[in-house]
Structure 1
Amino acid sequence: MNAFPNATVVQHPLVQHKLSLLRRKEVSTAEFRRLVREVSLLLCYEVTRDLPLEKVDIETPLEHMKAPLLAGKKLCFVSILRAGNGILDGMLDLVPSARVGHVGLYRDPETLVPVEYYLKLPDDVAQRLVIVVDPMLATGHSAAAAVTRLKEAGAVQIKFVCLLTVPEGLRVMQEAHPDVMVYTCSVDRQLDEHGYIRPGLGDAGDRIYGTK
């Protein structure tokens, strides 16, 4: 992992256990969706570890005190459609007040080049920590394109969260956006000739939504 200073692999036992369950081909759509949501909540805990706090005055049932609350603007989660919405749900369970943006990208099946078809972000995205979510960081081209669009929109603090990635995808992200940290459950072996992660877990979007 020294070759990828932009990557953090979340090694928590619950994360690794649930990832192994996600990989199994016999897992039903409903179970897969539930597991993605659970893993996403745990990843959200990790990616928000360094959020700034400030002391504010509150009243407990017994007395007055200064207590820590999150400082500054709320987070912004940006989902790369459509599969990113599976991770978004778990993130919002933990941070329900976060703003949400969407980037619509699809990968051309012949060239593997990302094509944008939708972009909707909060107006003040430049003032927020932006956490981009997509289950798979495979070739890295879609993720890099999404982050580029976010920077063009003014975002300056960006992190990227995925379930799985590979060295190929991490290299692309590191070269395009060395300032963006990637949080993942695993760095898998490689991409195959179709751009799928091996051993991976299949097509995350199809498995979340029960499509082919």
Structure 2
Amino acid sequence: MKYSDNCTVVDHPLVKHKLTQMRRKDTSTAEFRALLQEISLLLGYEATRDLKLTDEPIETPLAKMDAPVLEGKKLVLVAILRAGQGILDGMLQLVPSARVGHIGLYRDPKTLMAVEYYYKVPNQLADRDVIVCDPMLATGNSAVAALNRIKRSKPGSLRFVCLLACPEGLANLREHHPDVHVITAAVDEKLDEHGYILPGLGDAGDRLFGTR
């Protein structure tokens, strides 16, 4: 479902059901982790819908044919640490041959701005399709910072996959990166005074790793 020009909400019944299970405060760490991987497969399906194809001659057990295969350089998946790893793990099940990168960012508790502490992505991003993964698009500052960094390497295309978004985060990302499309499971109501999505599901990193 198209939410806005820069955002698609994947409103499949299985996505909605699994997201509800993740929102429950009594969902265990193991259940939360498994559900995130399952939803990530479904989000990844939508995020890769328009990857370019070319025909390649092959032989089936019965005949020769020209069959579609992915065209060009391998896809790159970039996780924003630490919670982005949960989406990355799910999407790698869908695209196991993808190259992988990581960007370490934390949110300054006073300014809510993103501070980078780690950056390791494949050397050659030029002309590659890149999908950035992070469960929450809240203020949008981490997403904007990550996309700023990646764009220096001139990727062929950029998409952002998240579990939850909110209007404030989408507006921030659209202002700075109008060319980057967001694929998400839901757009929630708003941010609270601490920069958390409401109604949300709490801190995705803490729930994914059992650190709170």
Q: Does the pair score TM above 0.5?
A: yes
CA distance 1:61–1:3, change in 2 (3 Å): closer
CA contact (8 A) 2:83 2:135 kept: yes
Distance 2:2 2:56 in 1: 40
* Partner of residue 183, structure 1: 183
Figure out how many residues of one structure are paired with residues of the other and give that number: 212
What code does the residue aligned with 2:89 have? D
Distance 1:39 1:170 in 2: 20
What code does the residue aligned with 2:196 have? Y
Distance 2:94 2:118 in 1: 26
CA contact (8 A) 1:79 1:85 kept: yes
CA contact (8 A) 2:3 2:9 kept: no
Q: Displacement of 1:50 after TM fit?
A: 0.6
Alignment of 1:1-212 (within 5 A): 4-212=4-212
Q: Displacement of 1:4 after TM fit?
A: 3.4
Percent of aligned pairs sharing the same letter: 65
CA contact (8 A) 1:4 1:171 kept: no
TM-score computed with the length of structure 1 as normaliser: 0.97
Q: Displacement of 1:147 after TM fit?
A: 0.2
What are the ranges of 5 or more consecutive residues in structure 2 without an aligned counterpart? none
SS in 2 for 1:193: coil
TM-score computed with the length of structure 2 as normaliser: 0.97
Distance 2:156 2:144 in 1: 14
SS in 1 for 2:159: strand
CA contact (8 A) 2:161 2:183 kept: yes
Runs of 4+ in 1 over 6 A off after TM superposition: none
CA contact (8 A) 1:104 1:117 kept: yes
What are the ranges of 5 or more consecutive residues in structure 1 without an aligned counterpart? none
| CA RMSD after TM alignment | 1.3
What code does the residue aligned with 2:97 have? S
CA distance 1:90–1:58, change in 2 (3 Å): same
Q: Displacement of 1:155 after TM fit?
A: 2.3
CA contact (8 A) 2:166 2:191 kept: yes
Distance 2:110 2:22 in 1: 28
What code does the residue aligned with 1:151 have? K
